[in-house]
Amino acid sequence: MNDSARQATRIDDIQGRLDPWLLALVLALSSLGLVMVGSSSISQHPDPFHYLTRHLVFLAGGLVLAVWATRIELRTVERYNQLMLLACFVLLLLVFVPGLGVSVKGAHRWINVGVSNFQVVEAVKVLFIIWLASYLVRFRDEVNATWGAMLKPLVVVAALVGLLLLQPDFGSSSLLLAITAGLLVLGGVNMPRMFLPVLIGLPALAFIAVLEPYRMRRLTSFMDPWADPFNSGYQLTNALMAAGRGEWLGVGLGSSIQKLSYLPEAHTDFILAVIAEELGFVGVCAIIALYALLVGRAFWIGLQCVEMRRHFSAYLAFGIALWIGLQSFVSIGVNLGLLPTKGLTLPLISSGGSSVLMTCAAMGLLLRVSYELERAKRQMARLRGDAGREDVPAEAAVSAGSRPHHVAGPTSASAPNPPAAAPVFARKRADAGRGTSRLQQRIEPTLGGMA
């Protein structure tokens, strides 16, 4: 075996590591959710442990999905991005199939999978983020330069939103639109061009919001829930009373009164109100801090991926961070009376099988991003060390570094030659006049402006 082959073998043997901070935050939120689901659901069913047992089962299923996601190479995930987009439309259409779709309180958001009902939009969130991350890798230059490349993801998300509004699900529709806009901005879209879709989209959303009488009732009750505390303002007034009773340190775990058949959906949409009552202001601040740390860590991992030229990994991390950050913000705002009532769960905490399963799968993908990032850093360190050795030629290190999984190589099979500058975070160009070696040009990508 020659030196180049031995070098490549050593590089392939290097393993990564799951980000310990990210893993600790996910476990903390999941553990807290398990405790609070058990506490908040004790009076929601004749069997006081019914929802706790159900939540445990779905957490176990979510753990299986998360472990599976951490073992899949991201280039394999990216390869099937088109099928994932197709799956988004198929899933949203399945809810209207007689015998398969399930209607609850007039909403067609679930399909019957035998053992339970599954809310398809939770899977759509993950699948759509994967497709959009891949799209931004393949067309990152065009997104900034042309109308067509910028409008294509907007047209796709508009079609998905149209199907969601037929269910209807206004909350998830708004969330998908916000995630798309956020990723386009991070992907380097031309901001003046974005103003036109925004100017068209916001009034359209406002019109859709006021078109249905029940949405208008939610808006008016949000402005003054005490005007009709036994009808349109019933949920919010009880949530506010729960938060008020908690004061600074709460009434104690398990001692909530509002969960005793007063507060609707106490273990799902309004679980934070129970947390506020039992754990107080300090408990709510702890929850907010955990989400802030989780989202911040995900963005930090994404930025590290950008620096390492792993753009699909970066956009995937950004998309998941936007999803978790926006959904937790809306859920917390609803529980505290800061936003109109929306049926969005608190990620990793609220009960809800579909949400638990898909959020765990997303966390598994995010952990996989951190694993491959750490692996790339270790491979870079090995290449730098080997490049300085006299017995290993630099050409061998460069050859090993050109493998698809290496940090210097592209993360997308469809983009073998990355452009000179990445959107938003422009890469430093190699200056041949400064004597930069061929190896350094491949393994030392940095963020823009660091000449």
Q: How many residues does the chain have?
A: 451
Q: Which pLDDT score, from 0 to 100, does residue 3 have? A: 62
Helix pair 191-211, 147-165: axis angle to 10 deg: 10
379 domain-assigned: no
Give pLDDT, residue 389. Answer: 56
In angstroms, the CA 227 to CA 69 distance is 48
**Minimal CA–CA distance to 187: which of 423, 420, 415, 446?**
423
Please state the domain count of the chain. Answer: 1
Tell me the H-state helices in 336-427.
353-387, 394-401
13 within a domain of the structure (yes/no): yes
Residue 324 corresponds to which tokens in the numbers above? 């978790």
CA triple 299-303-305, angle to 5 deg: 115
Structure tokens that stand for 31 in this block: 């553990």
Distance CA 44, CA 42 (A): 6
| Structural domain includes residue 427 | no
Which secondary structure element, helix H or strand E, spans residue 93, and what is its range?
helix 81-94
Contact residues for 112 (Cβ-Cβ < 8 A; gap 6+)? 99, 100, 101, 102, 118
What is the per-residue pLDDT for 56? 96
Q: What is the tens place of the pLDDT at every residue in 38-68?
A: 999 988 888 889 999 999 999 999 999 999 9
Range of the domain at 132: 3-373
Fill in the amino acid letter for 41: S
Within 13 Å and on the Cβ side, how many CA atoms surround 217? Answer: 12
The per-residue pLDDT for 424 is 43
Q: Is residue 416 part of a domain?
A: no
Which positions ≥6 away from 430 have C-beta within 8 Å? 436, 440, 441
In a domain, 448, yes or no: no
The three-class DSSP label of residue 319 is helix
- Return the pLDDT at 214: 77
Q: Does residue 287 sit within a domain?
A: yes
The Cα–Cα gap between 383 and 442 comes to 10
Residue 388 lies in a domain: no
The DSSP element (H or E) to which 281 belongs, if any, is helix 271-307
Alpha-carbon span 148 to 182, nearest angstrom: 18
- Contacting residues for 223 by C-beta, under 8 A, at least 6 apart: none
Intervals of the chain under pLDDT 70: 1-10, 12, 386-451
Q: Is-contact 232 208, C-beta < 8 A?
A: no
Name the burial class of residue 312, with classes exposed (0-12), middle (13-18) and buried (19+) by CB atoms within 10 angstroms of its CB.
Answer: buried
| pLDDT of amino acid 104 | 81
Q: Are 350 and 269 in contact (CB under 8 A)?
A: yes
**Which residues are within 8 A (CB) of 67 and not within 5 positions of it... i.e. 6 or more apart?**
364
Closest CA to 413 of 34, 44, 81, 29: 81
> Residue for token digits 């753990």?
63
Is 305 a domain residue? yes
